[in-house]
A = this chain, B = another copy of it.
Amino acid sequence: MMNRKMLLVAASIILNLVLIIHFLHNNSSTWTLSWTNRAAEEAEDAASVSCSGHGRAYVDGLGVLDGNKAPCECNNCYTGKDCSFLLPDCHAAANSGDPLFLEPFWMRNAEGSAVVESGWHRMSYHFYEDGSYVSAELERIIRKLHNVVGNAVTDNRFVIFGTGATQLIAASVHALSQTNSSSPTRLVSAIPYYNVYKEQTVFFNYANLKFGGDASAWKMSKHNDNMTQVIEIVTSPNNPDGKLKRAVLDGPNVKTIHDYAYYWPHFSPITHPADEDLSLFSLTKTTGHAGSRFGWALVKDEAVYERMKRYLTLSSMGVSRDTQLRALQLLKVVVGDGGEGIFHFGYETMKKRLEVLNKTLSMSTRFSLETIKPQYCNYFKKLRDFTPSYAWVKCERLEDTNCFEIFRAAKIIGREGKVFGSEERFVRLSLIRTQDDFDQLIDLLKKLVSREVVRADSI
């Protein structure tokens, strides 16, 4: 009797101790969160929705205003409430350079990359008292990132932020076109060039700027008179063909913009730190956050920097502070391990995709892909292949004059060669989208190539 009572007391005291330790531990190791709780629960709730690995749910998904649970938003070709149903006869989306290949990296780094923003976070137009539109910490981490990767010299450079590199292309072209010359400045770029350069110039229709087409053709032409003001945009690695490029033109009348959006270890050997007058970079291709619309420029000349700042002020009063806060957190994760995590993940993913693509196309004589010779990469400290964002595919048969249409007939939607200033015999296929997009692309590509083999056999 006495023993059983003793046992009861002992058991009760042990339970007490366990509970007290649990209680104390909980209170010491975690905050008691207050005003962030509702938002945190909503975010974790949406993140926990299972979309079968073929989609994801977002807190601002369709119907959330009606109190509905965040719905699955499925990858291309998948449908159903939980994205588990593969649509038959679906096309392959290979047009835009939507960098979703990095999405799994961020899902695995959920804790480090999450951002909580208060309702009163940076309501002002300005950071700090100097009236700046730029987060000084974000500028610091961008300089650090270039240091770590070794892809650009940032010493003696001004850093300027844009709503995507898109806005910075416009700002830098505008800044460099403001000359005293009576005839308009010409914007040129070596074919094949990124289509947006021409589209912006034609659409915005500035009084003192005209699109001049191919930089190499310009060099040979009678217009190349050392008098006409010229801006050359050099994209390296190039979009669409992935090659490292150098400027074609030089001279006192030539100004150069270097678009380094793709100069990251995911896509290219880092052969040297870029050290140019005006270089552009994009968060889209660095971390994969196309939706955030964030890019930056490194600018040597102060007058050019000031004109670009003026452009940024008058076109949007700088870049969203919400995005600057998020970019800071994302780049903290990137830089935290010296880029190990993201660049290995990105490179390995692209390498696997390129292997599959090359193998698929190796059976074809109808479609060809130029190979780029491996180079030594100062970042990975080894000789490595190029793993470009896009396949720049040539249709080799004489009768296949429009390569885009050949692929479209096979339900593969790429981007037409002609928008890059190139022949229609080329098509650009995006390789950096979701794994589902890539798998669908390869699936349809195999079918297309297999028909070719059959034809060859039947001859």
Contacts and interface: CB of A to CB of B under 8 A. Distances in A.
Most buried by B among A26, A39, A330: A39
Nearest to A10: B12
Contacts of A205: 206-208
B23 A314 contact: no
Interface in A47-74: 47, 56, 58-65, 73
Interface stretch (A121-129, A345-353, A360-368): A121-129
A317 B113 contact: no
Interface string A316-328: 1111111111101
A365 to B, nearest CB: 35
B33 A325 contact: no
A227 interface: no
A113 B36 CA distance: 9
Contact of A111 (B37, B64, B207): B37
A122 B59 CA distance: 10
A314 to B, nearest CB: 5
Given A40-B33, A138-B60, A106 B123 contact: yes
A19 interface: yes
Nearest to A141: B65
Given A33-B44, A118-B43, A322 B326 contact: yes
A313 to B, nearest CB: 8
Given A15-B16, A121-B58, A199 B314 contact: yes
Interface in A373-401: none
A170 interface: yes
A13 interface: yes
A203 B311 contact: yes
A20 interface: yes
A102 interface: yes
Contacts of A284: 125
Contacts of A42: 116
A115 B56 CA distance: 18
A397 to B, nearest CB: 32
A290 interface: yes
A167 interface: yes
A245 interface: no
A119 B110 contact: yes
B320 A293 contact: yes
A39 B320 contact: no
A317 B167 CA distance: 9
A222 interface: no
A387 B419 CA distance: 53
A324 B323 CA distance: 10
A218 B36 CA distance: 54
A58 B138 CA distance: 13
Interface in A1-54: 5, 8-9, 12-13, 15-16, 19-20, 22-23, 26, 30-31, 33-45, 47
A266 interface: no
B328 A60 contact: yes
A166 B119 contact: no
A92 to B, nearest CB: 14
A294 interface: yes
A417 interface: no
Given A110-B120, A170-B315, 19 more contacts: A16-B16, A36-B36, A36-B43, A38-B111, A39-B111, A40-B40, A40-B116, A59-B325, A64-B137, A65-B137, A98-B125, A106-B119, A112-B119, A114-B117, A117-B326, A123-B291, A196-B314, A206-B206, A315-B315
24 contacts: A12-B13, A16-B16, A26-B26, A33-B37, A35-B44, A35-B47, A36-B36, A37-B40, A39-B111, A40-B40, A47-B118, A60-B325, A63-B137, A65-B332, A103-B123, A107-B119, A109-B119, A114-B119, A123-B288, A123-B291, A162-B316, A163-B163, A167-B315, A200-B314
Report, nearest first, the 10 A-B pairs whose CB atoms are least far apart. Answer: A113-B119, A19-B19, A291-B321, A43-B116, A35-B110, A106-B119, A163-B316, A12-B12, A36-B40, A39-B114
